[in-house]
């Protein structure tokens, strides 16, 4: 068991996007975990009360300030970075991290949905995958950050200080995929993605994907969140 035991704040943006694998991995860290529905709750949060902030995916865009919670999350990220509280951003969460670090966010020329391989500069931190993607937006690499992985369509992983931003979804489980296929069938239809094939592939890859996710999260803990603090 890890000796880190971080008090963790998980930012969830809507009902169909729960923490998935993050819950089990954090339990193995003996973490104290609070899941906060930022789309429903306007409570002011002090990031100094936490040792880790995890931001999950969302159907909304991290550049859309018309969404009420987006500006609240921008402020929270800014405060967390100023307080040196590590952030792990997953898809929307990674895009939000890129935004706060000075990236340009935009609608991508093409969506990425499915289990896709990456090109990586640091396979011990972020492997080639395949990792699960479901996104329509993208971003430029943040100024001063280290770009770890990418595809032809978008940056996929970057490190800035004690923070790791990801474009893909390491948290996804077969149960989450069942819910996404149920909640967002119009998005799959628009992109010509077969929902039955997606579910079957997710179940087929489930055990290997979990192992790959654990390697990523352990490396984030040891090489980003904790090693950068020690420097």
Catalytic residues: 91, 169, 171
**What is the per-residue burial (b if ≥16 Cβ within 10 Å, else e) of 160-175?**
bbbbbbbbbbbbbbbe
What is the spatial distance between Cα 18 and Cα 184, in angstroms, rounded to a whole number?
15
What is the spatial distance between Cα 28 and Cα 139, in angstroms, rounded to a whole number?
32
Q: Token pair for residue 179?
A: 């819910």
From the CA atom positions of the chain, what is the Rg in Å? 16
Helix (H) or strand (E) holding 136: strand 131-139
What is the spatial distance between Cα 21 and Cα 173, in angstroms, rounded to a whole number?
7
Sheet holding 155-160: strands in order across?
32-37, 7-12, 52-55, 87-90, 163-166, 155-160, 146-150, 119-120
Q: Token pair for residue 14?
A: 């809507």
What is the spatial distance between Cα 171 and Cα 106, in angstroms, rounded to a whole number?
24
3-state secondary structure of 106: strand
What is the spatial distance between Cα 158 and Cα 140, in angstroms, rounded to a whole number?
11
């Amino acid at each position: 068991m890890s000796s880190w035991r971080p008090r963790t704040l998980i930012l969830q943006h809507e009902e169909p996007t729960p923490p998935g694998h993050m819950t089990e991995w954090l339990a193995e860290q003996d973490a104290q975990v609070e899941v906060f529905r930022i789309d429903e709750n306007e409570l002011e949060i002090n990031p100094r009360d936490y040792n880790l902030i995890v931001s999950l995916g969302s159907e909304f865009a991290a550049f859309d300030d018309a969404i009420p919670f987006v500006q609240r999350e921008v402020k929270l990220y800014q405060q967390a970075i100023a307080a040196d509280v590590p952030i792990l951003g997953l898809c929307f969460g990674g895009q939000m991290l890129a935004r706060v670090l000075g990236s340009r966010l935009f609608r991508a020329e093409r969506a990425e949905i499915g289990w896709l391989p990456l090109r990586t500069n640091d396979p011990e931190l972020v492997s080639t995958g395949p990792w699960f993607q479901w996104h329509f937006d993208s971003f430029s690499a943040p100024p001063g950050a280290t770009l770890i992985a990418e595809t032809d369509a978008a940056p996929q992983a970057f490190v800035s200080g004690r923070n790791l931003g990801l474009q893909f979804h390491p948290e996804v489980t077969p149960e989450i995929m069942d819910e996404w296929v149920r909640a967002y069938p119009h998005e799959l239809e628009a992109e010509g993605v077969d929902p039955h094939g997606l579910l079957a592939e997710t179940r087929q890859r489930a055990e290997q994907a979990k192992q790959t996710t654990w390697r990523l999260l352990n490396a984030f803990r040891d090489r980003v969140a904790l090693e950068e603090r020690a420097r």
